[in-house]
Every structure is written in C-alpha cells, then in structure tokens.
C-alpha cells in the first residue's frame, strides 16, 4: 500500500524559473557550508512573559555559528539586535570540560550567546558568555556582567520572583543577590566525586534532565540533588586529537554496573542548613524529575525503580516532613519519562501524562486523592503540554491526533473535553505558546517546504510572519530547488500486523528499464521518528544522492516513537531483532519495484542507526550488499545503565538477551562491503565499541573499511568533518553499489 503527500514543490520550482534562475544540481561541498541551504530560521524562539516581544538567537551575517540575541517587538512589528555578543566578548571562548560535555548533550555547537532565559516578570534576560553570566535589564537597555571569575559558572537561573540569580560553580550552588551584588554559597561539600546541584551523566544523556536544582516559587529555598559517583566504574578514556592524545578518568556507568548514589535536599536562603529528604530504603534508584507545587512548602519528586518498570510521583510537605504518593505508574516493559506535569494555582489539582492505555494521554488528578479523569483518548499520542490557561479552562498541547506524520497544536476545553486543532495540516509544527494563551509562535515546515516562523493568535490566525524564508534570488537554495525530488510516502505491514510508515527519495524521470541502487537510511532505535512530513537540512544529502541516480529509502520500524507502546514494546529484552525484520520488510517492498536493482541495496545509519547497519550486514546479507555504520554501539554492555537496561533489563537477569543483541555473534555473516566510522573523542558511544569490532573482524579475516575522525565527538559536528564524512560515504557507495 502506497500513498503520497501533496506539496508545493512544482509551484515553487516554477517561481524560481520565473525569476530567471538557472537550475543547478546539488554539490556536496555546499550541503554543509555557510550560508545554510535551509535558510536562517531563528533559533531558541521565546515569548516574553508579558507577550510584548519575541526573542530569538540568530547567527551573524559574517559567521552563522556566532549567535546574537534578537527581538521582535509585537507593537512596532520591528526586528532588532537586543545583544550583540561581540560587544561583550569577541575572542575565542574557553569552555570548561563540564560545559563542553553539557553543550554536546544539548547539541549546542555555536558560539556567542548560545542560550538565554527570561525572568518571570519579563523585565530581564540572563545568558552565559565565555564562562561568565550576563543580566540584561530591558528598562536600562543594558547588559550587566554578574560574574568575572576564573572558574566556570553553569546552569544559571533567575529566581521566580526575580530577586536572585543562581548558578553552579565548582560543584556547589551559589546565589547572587541582584540588588546588593553579594554572593551566597548555599552548599560547601561539593568536591571530588560529590557534586551539588548538577545532573549526573545518565540524567543528562538519557533522562533529558540537564539541571540538578529547582527554586521554590517564593524565592525562599532551593531543592537540589547531590550525587556521589565514587562507586561508578572508572575508565581511562582516550580522546585522540590531531596533535595530541588526552586521557580522561571518566566515571561511566556501564549497563549492570553501579550508578551514582543520589540524595535530594532542600536548602533555605536564610541559612538553616540542608534538609535531606527520606527517599526510602531502596537506594539503587533514579530521580528523573523534581518539581515544586504552587505551595512553597510542597515539593514533588519522581521516584523511578532501577528496572524502570515503576514510577511514583511523591509529594513532600516540608513543614511536617510527611510524604505521600500522589500516583504510581507501572509497566511490564518500561516507562517513558516526560515533562507533562502541571500543578494548578488553586493548589488542588494537577494534570499528568500517562501511557497506561497504550498511548500517551492526559489525566486530571485531585491532590487530595480520588479517581483520575482522562482528558484525551484514542489511538494517537500527546507529545507535550505546551501551556495551561487556568483562567479560561484551556489546555494547549502538541500531538499526533490527525496523522502520525505531523506534529500539531491542539486546544482542549476542560469543561467538555472538546479538542480543536490550531495549526494547519500539510506541515509539521513546533510551537511556543504564550503563558496566558493569547497566541503562539509557530515554526512549521513540510518535507519539501522550507521552515517558516509566524506569530498566531489563540485561534491559529496569523498575526505576522516572523521568518518567511522565501526562495528569493538571494536565497542559497534557490538555484538548486527545481532539481530537488519529491519524496513519496507510503505504508507497509509488519509481521504482527502493525503499520509501518516509509518515505522514499527517487531520481526524477524513473525508467522501468533501468535498475537503480538503493540506500536504506536507518536510525531504527527508540525515542526517534524519521518518517515525518517536515523539512530537515539533513535530507538534502538524500536529494543529492537521488540526483546521482540512487534511491534513498527510510522506514520507521517497530520500536520507534510517536506510535504508542504497542509499537515500541516488541524490542523489549531483544534489540536488533524486530527492527531488522521490519527493515527487511522494507527491502522486500523495494524489490517489487521494477526500477530497483535488488542486488545493489545498501544501508547507512549513525549511532543506533550505526548499530542497525552492522546488524543488517551481519544478519541480513541476502538483502544488503553494502553498509555504512557511524559511531555504532556494538556491545550493549559497553553502553550506559539507564538507556540500555530500559530496553534490555539488567545483564544479570537477561544475559542471553545482551548476547543476542550484540553484533559479535553474527560477525561470520558479513559477506558484503562494510565501512565503519567513529569520532575518536566520543564520550557517549565510546570509541572502544568500534575498536572491539575492528579487532573481531581482523581476527576472523573479514575485510572492511574504516574512517576515524580525530577530536570528533558523537555528533560529528563541524563543516569540514561533515563534508569529508559525506564525501567518504558517497565514494564508498559509488564503489560498492554504482559500478
């Protein structure tokens, strides 16, 4: 079964020609160059709390990766630079190792002002630059430097009432009084393996928790985690650069090994010391989330079991030290974490998201107990609560109610549970909703429609276009646009009857008498979706390969996200089984196409996709003739606890599953051509994953190719690295599939 999505490709192509532009085919060296072919869409869009302006980050004309802070004033309709990063610091930035790792996990690869936050009263903004903190006062139209130290300040926050700025310095929490300028050190025992107010490795990498402290709503105190990783295995890790080798003693929690020991405390600014909370007798746990209620004496935290099959939302009354469990989630496989918890200002109700019926939906709870009310339902998922307008009883959320291929904004009326879609179909939308629900920022795109940004009112009506990103004569993509192909979407059926979505980039003017090679582009792992109706600059490489005569095919196998737990759960305790089975289903479909060469089908992926590429080459050599594997996990005992045990369980309880999920038992099956590449400073999927496989293949006399990148981490960031990498991939497939 196949289908296609209509797009504006033909109209826009005609517009390009009418402007007298000569059509060109893509060149590899322009795919990763400045200016970006996708245009210069603003980054980190945010509404001011009072709704008077929109702020965003934008690269300089002379350097797209050097970011400044911009504003759009709603009343005047004008864009202007709010803070020029060079006016505060123009030299090369020196980052601490902690900040480098933090930015890698946040995928922040630019310089200048890379992040910022608003004060809740909308009067100021806070941002870091070169290790120090700056406070921009809108009334004074001036940035004030708050810190000037040799040490690096990280995770800076403005307190809810706006009186203080907090940050972590040398593993301790500090608070700066904005009026007096005085610093107060709230913790003093952070040193060595003990860290206060910081997120441990797996919290950052696998739980999407980048902070370790939280302000009470009245500025009176801070809740924080303290962790000690003294019992976490210590590994001497190499980071190999072009002209040196750096050695790091890294605490890395391999699957089955010890995690950090963690505590949750509350410290008051008035100086009474730390109030350590009782987390229970079981110490081998996770604390994925901490959140205050509207009551400054009531704190909640999420307690998660080591096997991730039980999660409890616990409430602590700090005046009595009494605790109660507000709700419990359980699963026979695993529980996905989320940030969808909203406490009402009436201090009586909360909204919570759960997958208990197989799909992520919203539920209303009373704080004093009683049955929950399900607010949304159906065979589709809520992605995220975007805003709650308590005054008018409205919940704004994004989700996949209309189609799994597109993310849309919806408005739910609490009084009758009626749902309205506020965004336009035919595109996927990322939104920022005003706190009062008066409007929202809409960043939207389709698979062959460039990203655009507009400001809408609460009904979805466009008030103004913030970034049209039109294909003018000056746009870098304009000369290449007419030659881009139109991806085709469709569905297939998995062996268990579930629907698999795919999309395929095919050369123009296909001839049934000519056989084309195919590249299956795969990720395949949990927590990701690749087949969507949205624009991605990474897809330009697929267009480039289609112009060279390749067919590029993508399929979201079982285990990937946004389809509900029934679609995810088949991978539990056995990775690389149903994922490969579904990718084979995709290849079997490709073989039915008269213009596909069934003997010249390759596979390419990075990270989990790199693992999938190797498994495909080892376990399905009858289907795949060549493969490119990037930064692969090869042995799941080499990966971290929280991610790996979520899907495979503890190695002591599932030794067979770990062995069967490793690539090594299947290495004899390699008969085709294999290229493996890896960054030599990767601290996520450690380089030892690849070196262990290199040795295995060499010992067995199996021929393969490798490309290593000195200094590169997991994301392989950088124009030169990305260009060389894709040149390498292209040349490999040309040798193995095209001739």
Same domain for 225 and 161, yes or no, is no
Residue 140 resides in a domain: yes
pLDDT at 21: 60
Same domain for 598 and 677, yes or no, is yes
Domain of 206 in residue numbering reads as 186-293
Residue 41 resides in a domain: yes
pTM across the whole model: 0.94
Question: What is the C-alpha R_g of the chain?
Answer: 26
Residue 168 resides in a domain: yes
Tokens linked to 423: 């965004």
Same domain for 242 and 123, yes or no, is no
Boundary-marking domain end, from 256, 276, 293:
293
Q: What is the DSSP letter of 6?
A: -
Q: Calculate the CA 720 to chain-centre distance.
A: 23
Q: Which residues are CB-neighbours of 178 under 8 A, at least 6 positions away?
A: 135, 162, 163, 164, 165
pLDDT at 96: 75
Residue 284 resides in a domain: yes
Catalytic residue among 682, 683, 690, 712: 682
Residue 195 resides in a domain: yes
Tokens linked to 561: 């996200």
- Known catalytic membership, residue 607: yes
Tokens linked to 456: 């809408």
Tens digit of each residue's pLDDT (9 = 90 or more) over 228-248: 999 999 988 889 999 999 998
Residue 100 resides in a domain: yes
Catalytic residue among 16, 111, 458, 607: 607
Overall domain count for the chain: 3
Boundary-marking domain end, from 261, 276, 293:
293
SS (H, E, C) 617-666: HHHCCCCCCEEEEECCCCCHHHCEHHHHHHHHCCCCCCHHHHHHHCCHHH
Please report the sign of the dihedral spanned by the C-alpha atoms of residue 593, residue 595, residue 596, residue 599: positive
Same domain for 132 and 269, yes or no, is no
Same domain for 80 and 116, yes or no, is yes
Boundary-marking domain end, from 293, 312, 332:
293
Tokens linked to 9: 């490709």
Peptide bond between residue 35 and the one before it cis (omega within 30 degrees of 0): yes
Same domain for 522 and 599, yes or no, is yes
Same domain for 239 and 169, yes or no, is no
Write the burial class of residue 446 (CB in 10 Å: 0-12 exposed, 13-18 middle, 19+ buried): buried
Same domain for 86 and 235, yes or no, is no
Residue 114 resides in a domain: yes
Low-confidence ranges of the chain (pLDDT < 70): 1-21
Residue 638 resides in a domain: no
pLDDT at 5: 43
Residues recorded for the chain: 739
The CATH number of residue 158's host domain is 2.120.10.30
Same domain for 132 and 252, yes or no, is no
Q: Do the Cβ atoms of 603 and 560 come closer than 8 Å? A: no
Same domain for 206 and 80, yes or no, is no
């Amino acid at each position: 079964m196949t289908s296609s999505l209509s797009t504006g490709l033909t109209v826009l192509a005609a517009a390009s020609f009418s402007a007298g532009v000569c059509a060109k085919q893509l060149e590899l060296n322009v795919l990763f160059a400045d200016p970006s072919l996708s245009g210069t869409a603003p980054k980190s869009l945010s509404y001011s709390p009072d709704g008077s302006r929109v702020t965003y980050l934008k690269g300089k004309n002379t350097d797209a990766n050097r970011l400044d802070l911009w504003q759009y004033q709603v009343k005047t309709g004008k864009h202007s630079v709010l803070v020029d990063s060079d006016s505060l610091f123009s030299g090369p930035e020196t980052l601490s190792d902690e900040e480098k790792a933090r930015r890698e996990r946040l995928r922040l690869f630019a310089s200048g002002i890379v992040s910022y936050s608003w004060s809740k009263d909308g009067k100021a903004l806070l941002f870091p630059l070169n290790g120090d903190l700056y406070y921009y006062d809108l009334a004074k139209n001036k940035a004030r430097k708050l810190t000037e130290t040799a040490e690096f300040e990280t995770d800076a926050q403005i307190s809810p009432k706006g009186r203080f700025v907090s940050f972590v310095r040398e593993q301790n929490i500090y608070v700066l009084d904005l009026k007096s300028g005085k610093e107060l050190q709230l913790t003093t025992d952070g040193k060595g393996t003990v860290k206060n107010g910081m997120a441990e490795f797996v919290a950052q990498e696998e739980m999407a928790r980048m902070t370790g402290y939280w302000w009470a709503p009245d500025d009176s105190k801070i809740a924080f985690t303290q962790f000690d990783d003294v019992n976490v295995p210590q590994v001497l890790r190499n980071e190999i650069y072009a002209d040196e080798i750096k050695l790091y003693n890294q605490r890395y929690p391999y699957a089955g090994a010890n995690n950090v020991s963690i505590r949750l405390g509350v410290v008051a600014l008035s100086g009474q010391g730390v109030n350590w909370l009782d987390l229970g007798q079981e110490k081998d746990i996770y604390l994925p989330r901490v959140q205050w209620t509207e009551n400054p004496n009531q704190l909640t935290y999420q307690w998660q079991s080591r096997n991730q099959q039980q999660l409890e939302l616990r409430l602590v009354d700090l005046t009595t030290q009494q605790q109660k469990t507000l709700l419990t989630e359980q699963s026979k496989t695993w529980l996905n974490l989320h940030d969808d918890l909203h406490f009402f200002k009436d201090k009586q109700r909360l909204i919570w998201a759960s997958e208990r019926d197989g799909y992520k939906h919203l539920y209303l709870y009373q704080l004093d107990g009683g049955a929950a009310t399900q607010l949304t339902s159906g065979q589709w998922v809520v992605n995220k609560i975007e805003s709650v307008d308590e005054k008018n009883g409205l919940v704004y959320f994004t989700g996949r109610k209309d189609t799994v291929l597109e993310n849309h904004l919806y408005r739910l009326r609490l009084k009758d549970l009626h749902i309205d879609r506020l965004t336009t179909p035919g595109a996927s939308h990322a939104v920022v909703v005003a706190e009062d629900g008066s409007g929202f920022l809409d960043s939207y795109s389709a698979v062959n429609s460039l990203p655009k940004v507009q400001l809408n009112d609460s009904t979805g009506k466009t008030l103004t276009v913030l970034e049209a990103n039109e294909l003018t004569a000056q746009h870098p993509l304009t000369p290449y646009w007419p030659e881009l192909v139109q991806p085709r979407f469709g569905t297939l059926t998995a062996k268990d009857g579930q629907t698999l979505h795919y999309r395929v980039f095919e050369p123009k003017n296909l001839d049934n008498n000519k056989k084309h090679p195919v590249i299956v582009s795969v990720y395949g792992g949990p927590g990701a979706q690749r087949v969507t109706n949205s624009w991605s600059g990474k897809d330009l490489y697929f267009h480039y390969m289609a112009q060279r005569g390749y067919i590029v095919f993508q399929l979201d196998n079982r285990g990937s996200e946004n389809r509900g737990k029934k679609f995810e759960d088949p991978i539990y305790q056995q990775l690389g089984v149903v994922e490969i089975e579904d990718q084979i289903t995709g290849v079997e479909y490709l073989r039915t196409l008269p213009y596909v060469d069934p003997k010249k089908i390759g596979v390419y992926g990075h990270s989990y996709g790199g693992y999938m590429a190797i498994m495909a080459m080892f376990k399905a050599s009858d289907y795949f003739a060549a493969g490119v594997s990037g930064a692969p996990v090869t042995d799941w005992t080499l990966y971290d606890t929280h991610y790996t045990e979520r899907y495979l369980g503890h190695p002591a309880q599932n030794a067979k599953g770990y062995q069967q999920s490793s690539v090594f038992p299947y290495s004899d099956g390699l008969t085709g051509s294999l290229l493996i590449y890896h960054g030599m400073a990767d601290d996520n999927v450690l380089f030892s994953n690849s070196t262990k496989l290199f040795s295995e293949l060499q010992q067995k006399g199996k021929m393969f190719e490798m490309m290593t990148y000195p200094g590169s981490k997991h994301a392989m960031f950088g124009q030169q690295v990305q260009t060389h990498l894709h040149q390498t991939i292209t040349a490999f497939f040309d040798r193995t599939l095209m001739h």
